[in-house]
Amino acid sequence: MLILALSEVRTRAASAANGSSAQGKQKVKKVADTAEEEDRKPQSDEAHSAFSPVGGVDTPAVPEDEHPTSEFTIPNGLRIPHAPEDTETSAFKPPPHYEARGSTAFTPPSGIPTVRLTKEAPWQDRMRTMLRTPVADRPAPEATQKHEDESGPAVPRVLDLTLRIGELLLAGGEGAEDVEAAMFAVTRSYGLDRCEPTVTFTLLSISHQPSLVDDPVTSSRTVRRRGTDYTRLAAVYRLVDDIGSGDIEVSLEEAYRRLAEIRRNRHPYPGWALTAAAGLLAGAAATLVGGTVVVFIAAAIGAMLGDRLAWLCAGRGLPEFYQFIAAAMPPGAMGVAISLLDLPDVRASAVITGGLFALIPGRALVAGVQDGLTGYYITAAARLLEVGYLVVGIVIGVLTVLYLGVRLNAGLNPETTVHSVNQPPIQILAAMALSLAFAVLLQQERSTVLLVTLNGGVAWVIYGAMANAGHLSPVAATAVAAGLVGLFGQLLSRYRFASALPYVTAAIGPLLPGSSTYFGLLNIAQNELNAGLAQLSKAAALALAIAIGVNLGGELARLFLKVPGGEGLVGGRKSAKRTRGF
């Protein structure tokens, strides 16, 4: 049985092998037949080359070892250096055969100067230079404040602290450039690089990008309320100076604590002192334009009544526009009453002019023009629009009373000239008293009141010497006097590392165009529009001369003067280039 099974298996294997060989022979035969049919077919025209040899011309023999080559084949003898495959190179790395001296670069022959900051210079100047430097050219920040965590500062908390400091400065009337400089100083002191602060009239924002591959972090804050308190402004500047100083350690918690104390601090002067200061300001301004003792008392009473009426409107929640209308009416009514009484040697124009001195928004005007001159046009336009609304409120309040006085046949004479009584000693004392009262109204520190009072007296001496004694243009005299005010104010701020506003704003009080504003409104009330518009144009020119003079004085201080012990900034303070009309 076993023998029969083996023989049967052999038989089946042999038959399977014979079948497979037969199938293979059939496939080979089919392929051969197909090739013969292809050879028999006529070839198409596309198969012929355009470079086929002409009949009768022999084709040159091609050696068997020669093969067609590409036109991009590397010629023989050319050596190409091969870089290692495992070496990673940067996209910003120059080529190996690049030479800087032989290249046609667009950089200056001496190279791009490196921005270096001296620590002896005021932080305001250092930060202004940083703000006007492109981000790629700014030096790395040197953190002056240490951090307990080795990973670095808490970025959201630093940005929040920066915005809160900027909010207090902007609400206090500081210029946009100075607010950005203070915010930039805080972020760099805590070691944050690539920060960009942005300041507008009501919105502050700051953006921080940790590195070129990380997403930026942006925070913003809105300024809801504005208030004039230069004591708080000076305290914020001291905090920023301490944060930027390496000698004083101010942690984030300590900075928040000091900022909360600044917010909670009460004003240095009570309400009754502010009302008395408003009366003193109006009386001094009336004396400055040639008023007597009776005029001084009448102007002071009118200004104090206007101040109390404005406070009453503010307590009822009325906007500031209506507060100025209410504050402008009592001084005008006092002047009309004196005209109806027809008292000898009592000038009603001086009474109304003194009341207007206490209302003209000189602080907002100077800040608006300063923002425009430094390139912050959106903030400057908003500030100047605010000044325009406040001036319109003053015009409405005074014109309402003047129309009533004209109907009552009050002896209001627009031809009355101001400064007709030339008494330099009395006028200098009146100018100093006006600056003193203005400083109290601005809630300045008591240590700065004396300096700003002297600065106001110097401003009036310069103006009187040029306009009254020299008979020069009042606009030119005002610009020069305001320039000296700005120069002295910037000097004091640089030596004290503080804001220049407390030393400047009150000192320009004697230069405000109160008389031109009054006579322009009086001419309009008497239907003499051409004369009225001429006087108002003169008032606008004087106001612009004050603002431009103050800004120019500050720029001259930064340009020519140096801080003792420091070399200033290498390369100076950069500014925008002239557009050349396009």
What was the pLDDT predicted at 61? 58
Mean pLDDT in residue range 518-522: 76
| Whether residue 253 is found in the same domain as residue 277 | no
Q: Which of 554, 551, 577 is nearest to 372 (CA)?
A: 551
Percent of the chain with pLDDT over 70: 67
Which one has a higher pLDDT value, 124 or 541? 541
426 vs 135, higher pLDDT: 426
In this prediction, residue 115 carries a pLDDT of 45
Residues 444 and 338 both lie in one domain:
yes
- Which of 233, 264, 295 delimits the end of a domain? 264
- Under DSSP, the state recorded for 211 is S
What pLDDT does 570 receive? Answer: 40
Has residue 163 been placed in a domain? Answer: yes
Residue 364 lies in a domain: yes
- 208: its two tokens: 């921080």
37 occurs within a structural domain: no
What is the Cα 107 distance to its own chain's centre?
29
* 287 part of a folded domain: yes
Q: Are 381 and 522 contained in the same domain? A: yes
CA distances 210 to 154, 218, 310, Å, are 12, 12, 49
- The stretch 158-181 carries a mean pLDDT of 89
Kindly tell me if the per-residue pLDDT of 342 is higher than 70: yes
260 and 309 co-located in one domain: no
Question: Where a domain ends, among 237, 264, 291?
Answer: 264
Residue 241, CA distances (Å) to 189, 236, 582 in order: 10, 9, 41
Strand-by-strand arrangement of the 195-199 sheet: 195-199, 203-208, 217-222
**Cα angle: 194, vertex 198, 201; to 5 degrees:** 170
Domain count along the chain: 2
Where is the domain boundary, 264, 282, 311?
264
Selected residue with higher pLDDT from 238 and 129: 238
- Note whether residue 24 is domain-resident: no
Residues 158 and 242 placed together within one structural domain of the fold:
yes
Mean pLDDT of 117-122: 52
For residues 269 and 440, give the distance between their C-alpha atoms in angstroms, rounded to a whole number. 7
- What is the DSSP annotation of 395-443? HHHHHHHHHHHHHTT----TTPPTT-S--HHHHHHHHHHHHHHHHHHTT
Query: Would the pLDDT of 282 be above 60?
Result: yes
Report the sign of the C-alpha dihedral through residues 153, 159, 165, 169, in that order.
positive
Return the ∠ at Cα 179 (arms to 117 and 213), rounded to 5°. Answer: 65
Residues 6+ apart with CB under 8 A from 336: 348, 401, 402, 404, 405, 408, 410, 412
CB 214 within 8 A of CB 273: no
> Do 205 and 292 fall within a single domain?
no
Could you please report the per-residue DSSP string of 71-94? Answer: TTPPPTT---PPPPTT----TTSP
Whether residue 473 sits in one domain with residue 357? yes
List Cα–Cα distances, 121 to 173, 424, 493, 509, in angstroms: 24, 40, 12, 31
Paired strand residues for 198: 205
Q: What distance in Å separates the CA atoms of residue 425 and residue 359, rounded to the nearest whole number?
A: 26
**Which residues constitute the domain of residue 454?**
271-560
pLDDT at 317 over 70: yes
| Mean pLDDT, the chain, integer | 76
Domain-located, residue 386: yes
Are residues 199 and 246 both part of a single domain?
Answer: yes
pLDDT exceeds cutoff 50 at 433? yes
Asked if residue 216 and residue 140 are part of one domain, the reply reads yes
Which of 337-341, 555-559, 576-580 is the least confident region? 576-580
In whole angstroms, what is the distance from residue 186 CA to residue 164 CA? 11
> Where do the H-state alpha helices sit in 66-225?
123-131, 155-171, 176-189
Q: Which residues contact 325 (CB under 8 A, 6 or more apart)?
A: 393, 394, 396, 397
Q: Is the pLDDT of residue 205 over 90?
A: yes
Q: Where residue 162 falls among pLDDT bands split at 50, 70, 90?
A: very high
* Residue bearing tokens 């140096």: 562
Cα torsion through 348, 354, 356, 358, rounded to 10: -160
232 and 354 together in one domain: no
Q: How confident is the model at residue 166 (pLDDT cuts 50, 70, 90)?
A: very high
Q: Are residues 221 and 316 in the same domain?
A: no
Which range is most confident: 45-59, 83-97, 313-327? 313-327
Q: Name the band, by pLDDT with cuts 50, 70 and 90, for residue 43.
A: low
Residue 305 lies in a domain: yes
pLDDT at res. 212: 76
pLDDT 10s digits, 230-277: 888 889 988 988 888 777 788 888 889 999 999 887 778 888 888 999
**pLDDT value at 489 more than 50:** yes
Banded model confidence at residue 316, pLDDT cuts 50, 70, 90: confident
Q: How far apart (Å, rounded) are the C-alpha atoms in residues 39 and 33?
A: 10
Residues 6 or more apart in contact with residue 278 via CB below 8 angstroms:
303, 304, 306, 307, 358, 437, 441
Phi (first) and psi of residue 204, to 5 degrees: -120, 140
Residues 286 and 190 grouped into a single domain? no
Q: Is 340 in contact with 521 (CB distance < 8 Å)?
A: no
Please tell me which residue, 90 or 555, carries the higher pLDDT value: 555
On whether residue 16 sits in a domain, the answer given is no
